[in-house]
Amino acid sequence: MQASSSSSSRIHGKRWNLRLTGRKRGSLVGLEQARRGKVKGHGRSTSFMVHCSLGEDRHFHRGHYLYDIADFSAAEQHEQLVLGAPPRPRRIILVRHGQSEGNIDEGAYTRIPDSKISLTEAGWRQAIECGKRIRTLVESDGAPDWKVYFYVSPYRRSLQTLKAIGMAFERERIAGVREEPRLREQDFGNFQDQERMRVEKEIRLRYGRFFYRFPNGESAADVYDRITGFRETLRADIDIGRFQRPEDRSKNVNLVLVSHGLTLRVFLMRWYKWTVEQFEGLWNFGNTGTMVMETGPGGRYSLLVHHTREELKAFGMTECMIDDQEWQKYAKPGELNYDWLTSGSNFFSHFDSDKDELSQMPSEIKDASSMRDFFQPEPPVGWPS
């Protein structure tokens, strides 16, 4: 059965005729259940917010009407501007996979593709217990409408970890699952020669853990690039409230990312804008180890809402990184911490006489008078004064 309606709206100073049609799905209230529609004007397909009056049927939902232009939904624009921005998920919980065959026998990588390495029996048990811990955490809010939404690496050990974690939740508590290839493990280069890999990891320690690229594989810098893309997808999902229907909006959604140790550390680096030096001071997650990014009073995600300063120090975070988490705990989205290392003048050390970070600079340049001469040379002959 088809439902349709015509109306008009003044958009961008012009009045457009709208015709929305859709297939009936279950219980139907006017256009509420319409599946697809288009906005047309002057013979060409157009897309924008729907401000038209649909009478009693004006409260249609995102996903029921899809106005196609560059894969962006006009209904989503309508939802944000008319209904207001959706609440941010309460937490982003990062989980490393359980113990795998490769964790106890590096020789496994010589005969099994990295993407097909499975959990051990101990890994399965770890993942089941991890699911119980996550449920206890989200239930601690006391909210009756909490849910979880999962992003997971496509590697077998991560998918198995998620299967076991999911045993702690009823169907109605799971808002969704998305397999995300950008959350995969750092690529070490197809089948791995065990002795050669030992040598490569020793070279990596000398070269630097972030920039060293394994032959036929990736560096942590390469992982950073693809995690940047994933972060933008995640931020967009958060901004449009993709985890729940508009009529069921709640701040008690918890996102869970099931991935790999280095990938999750790079994710945190990218999210909080940590430097390469700060990244290289971090320790790996243990199997099914977690880090919890939780919204503070201002609405931003901070590691200090759930974790203690001592836990973050044990992870390898410096005092200034932890101080920034304290700022994140109370700041609002869009605000900038001007005292943060990479945000303001704190990056430069020449303001502080007690710091010796300029010791490698030639003395004739470091000298204040020479520095003025260096940066302000004499103008060319004939240059206007």
Residue percentage of the chain with pLDDT more than 70: 66
271, 228 Cβ separation under 8 angstroms: no
Nearest to 179 by CA among 157, 204, 159: 159
Specify whether 185 is catalytic. yes
211, 220 Cβ separation under 8 angstroms: yes
**Banded pLDDT at 209 (limits 50, 70, 90):** confident
How far apart are the C-alpha atoms of 83 and 59, rounded to whole Å? Answer: 10
pLDDT(370) > 60? no
Residues 6+ apart with CB under 8 A from 319: none
* 9-13, 90-94, 157-161, 186-190, range with the lowest pLDDT: 9-13
86, 77 Cβ separation under 8 angstroms: no
How far apart are the C-alpha atoms of 180 and 261, rounded to whole Å? Answer: 16
pLDDT(74) > 50? no
Catalytic residue among 32, 185, 218, 294: 185
Q: Name the pairing type of β-strands 91-96 and 290-295.
A: antiparallel
Specify whether 97 is catalytic. yes
Catalytic residue among 78, 97, 260, 307: 97
Q: Which amino acid is at 66?
A: L
Q: Which amino acid is at 371?
A: M
- Say which residue, 129 or 216, is predicted with more confidence: 129
Give the per-residue pLDDT at 343.
54
How far apart are the C-alpha atoms of 67 and 79, rounded to whole Å? Answer: 13
